[in-house]
A and B are shown apart, each in its own frame.
Chain A
Amino acid sequence: MLHEYRGHQVDTNAEGFLTDANEWSPDVAEAIAEEAGIQLTPEHWKVITFCREDAAREGQPPGLRRISKLSGVDTKALYRLFPKGPGKLASKIAGLPKPQGCI
């Protein structure tokens, strides 16, 4: 379905995840974050940038443990940054699909 974020038309699935990562832009990220009640800080951006780079390399969005091990932002901080569920939210704001793993 089509969703408008700050004037950008993007395709999303029923859960609000972008279906085409190429339609993503920092503007869109900020708008998705806002919807989830999050004001993006440089620490958020560190996570989002890692997720996008890792997904481009691996072909799938990183799970939370992978983010905590490799991005330099630990588990506690991830839950502080994305209190409503970092597992889904980090990927969603980064314009990636919902991660498949449980870890």
Chain B
Amino acid sequence: MSTAELDTPTPAAPAAKAPIEHIAIICSKGTLDMAYPGLILANAARMSGIEATLFFTFWGLDIVTKKTVDHLHVATVGNPSMHVPTMIGGLPGMEAVATSMMRKEMEKLDIPDVREMVEMLADSGAHLYACRMAMDMFKRTEDDLLPQVEAVISAMDFYDKAAGAQIIFI
């Protein structure tokens, strides 16, 4: 090996950091604690003038389903951050307690409920889509969804809609 190979190359001048112009968030979970992060990130994006596209798939469909949007729960089992042993988290009533605690904390911070968050996002110009396959799997129709959902689309359609976006999976 010659020493020339060990010479550190002159680093190129760092390129100016390009601002984010579009984010696409895949919401795949339907628990209250997993619904909020996607909705809040999307809202913050719109507030900063960043385009936001949301794709609700699998259990994330519950966030935009009329019957479930007001009844999302915090998961107390299989959620290590709850700091409650799994066996205790599984006792009757634990989920209801954790859910009402989280709702109260959110209220204190003046964070709207999930239904209002979805309405706010649509008003802000974010685009909301439901996943065709998840809809078929859970046997839901467009009538089951909140009116803020623009369309039911396939994953391939989602990639078209997300052109140029940074994709976040939740």
Q: Specify which chain A residues have a CB less than 8 angstroms from the CB of B49 in the assembled complex.
A: 83-85, 88-89
| Known contacts A75-B124, A79-B124: A103-B43 contact under CB 8 Å | yes
- Nearest chain A residue, comparing its CB with the CB of B125: A79
| Known contacts A103-B110, A103-B112: A64-B123 contact under CB 8 Å | no
Interface residue count for A (Cβ, 8 Å)? Answer: 16
Q: Mark B103-133, 1 if CB is under 8 A from A, else 0.
A: 0000000111000000010011100000000
Contact of A85 among B40, B50, B110, B123 (CB under 8 A): B50
B48 at the A interface (CB under 8 A):
yes
Interface centre among B44, B49, B125 (most CB of A within 10 A): B49
Q: Mark B4-26, 1 if CB is under 8 A from A, else 0.
A: 00000000000000000000000
A74 at the B interface (CB under 8 A):
yes
Interface residue count for B (Cβ, 8 Å)? Answer: 15
What CA separation (Å) do A66 and B110 show in the bound complex? Answer: 9
- Nearest chain B residue, comparing its CB with the CB of A80: B125
Q: Footprint of A on B, CB under 8 Å?
A: 40, 43-44, 46-50, 110-112, 120, 123-125
Could you write out 15 A-B pairs with CB less than 8 Å apart?
A65-B110, A66-B110, A74-B123, A75-B123, A75-B124, A76-B124, A79-B123, A79-B125, A85-B49, A85-B50, A88-B47, A88-B48, A88-B49, A102-B43, A102-B44
